């Protein structure tokens, strides 16, 4: 089971994600509400995995992703994306995102994305 950092500026989204992550048997180590905080907390807590929203104040999800990968090339970051963000998804792949969860998502989507990334990590 994994230690997971949630980065999302929406309090409601964080709450929903936390519930889904915990129901899947994982631990949420921290919740951050912008990319800058997410990056700093990543360095401090070194979670196994990050769920990263894209549209956020201060640093957005793509900028935070780049900083995290720069500080730890093995970082596992799952981007939370909307259908309208195809261009940003392509950028995120280039920057080293491990996986995507498309909005609107359900608990099964979240569980599967996490399992996929954790399996990759174990091989
Ligand atoms: Mg957002």
CA 123 – ligand 1 centroid, Å: 32
* Rounded Cα–Cα distance for residues 83 and 38 (Å): 23
CA 24 – ligand 1 centroid, Å: 23
**Domain contains 25:** no
Residue span of the structural domain in which 110 resides: 75-123
* Per-residue pLDDT at 121 exceeds 90: no
Model confidence, pTM: 0.95
CA 94 – ligand 1 centroid, Å: 21
**Domain contains 44:** no
20 Cβ contact list (under 8 Å, min separation 6): 106, 107, 110, 111
The pLDDT confidence band at residue 83, using thresholds 50, 70 and 90, is confident
CA 122 – ligand 1 centroid, Å: 30
CA 24 to chain centre: 15
**Domain contains 115:** yes
CA 108 – ligand 1 centroid, Å: 21
**Domain contains 29:** no
Structure tokens given for 52: 């990263």
Give the total number of structural domains in the chain.
Answer: 1
CA 82 – ligand 1 centroid, Å: 10
**Domain contains 46:** no
For residue 91, what are the CA distances in angstroms to 26, 30, 61, 96?
Answer: 28, 26, 11, 9
For the stretch 98-115, pLDDT in tens is 999 999 999 999 999 999
The pLDDT confidence band at residue 123, using thresholds 50, 70 and 90, is low
């Amino acid at each position: 089971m994994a230690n997971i950092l949630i980065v999302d500026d929406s309090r409601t989204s964080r709450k929903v994600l936390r519930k889904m992550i915990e129901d899947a048997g994982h631990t949420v180590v921290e919740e951050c509400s912008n990319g800058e905080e997410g990056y700093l907390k990543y360095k401090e807590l070194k979670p196994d995995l990050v769920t990263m929203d894209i549209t956020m104040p201060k640093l957005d999800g793509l900028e935070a992703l780049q900083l995290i990968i720069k500080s730890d090339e093995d970082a596992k970051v799952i981007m939370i994306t909307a259908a309208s963000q195809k261009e940003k998804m392509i950028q995120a792949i280039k920057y080293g995102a491990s996986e995507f969860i498309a909005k609107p998502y359900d608990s099964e989507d979240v569980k599967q994305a996490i399992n996929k990334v954790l399996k990759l990590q174990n091989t």
